[in-house]
Amino acid sequence: MLPIHPDTSTQSLIKVERLYKSYTLDRQANGSFDSQVLFDINLNINQGEFVAIMGHSGSGKSTLMNILGCLDTPSSGRYWFSGQDVASLSGDTLAQIRNRNIGFVFQGFNLLKRMTALDNVATPLLYAGMNRTNSRKRALEQLRLTGLTDFALYQPNQLSGGQQQRVAISRALINQPQLILADEPTGNLDSQTSCEIMALFQQLNLEQNITIVLVTHEDDIAAYANRLIRFKDGRVIHDKSAA
Residue 1: inside a domain, yes or no?
A: no
pTM of the complete model: 0.88
Residue 6: inside a domain, yes or no?
A: no
Q: Report pLDDT digits (tens) over 206-226.
A: 999 999 999 999 999 999 999
CATH number at residue 160: 3.40.50.300
**Residues across the chain:** 243
Domain that holds residue 223: 12-241
Residue 5: inside a domain, yes or no?
A: no
Residue 132: inside a domain, yes or no?
A: yes
Q: In this structure, are residues 145 and 170 in contact, taking their beta carbons and an 8 Å threshold?
A: yes
How much is the pLDDT for 8? 39
Among the listed residues 237, 217, 212, the one whose alpha carbon sits nearest the alpha carbon of residue 227: 212
Name 161's Cβ contacts closer than 8 Å, sequence gap at least 6: 109, 188, 189, 190, 193
| For residue 127, pLDDT beyond 80 | yes
pLDDT band at 6 (very low <50, low <70, confident <90, very high): very low
Q: Report pLDDT digits (tens) over 179-204.
A: 999 999 998 899 999 999 999 999 99
Name 45's Cβ contacts closer than 8 Å, sequence gap at least 6: 12, 13, 14, 15, 51, 211, 213
Phi then psi for residue 98, to 5 deg, are -60, -35
Residue 3: inside a domain, yes or no?
A: no
Residue 236: inside a domain, yes or no?
A: yes
How much is the pLDDT for 32? 64
Structurally, how many domains does the chain consist of?
Answer: 1
Q: Report pLDDT digits (tens) over 70-100.
A: 999 999 999 999 999 999 999 999 999 999 9
Indicate the DSSP class of residue 9: T
Spell out the alpha helix ranges (H) of 21-115. 61-68, 91-100
Residue 2: inside a domain, yes or no?
A: no
Residue 115: inside a domain, yes or no?
A: yes
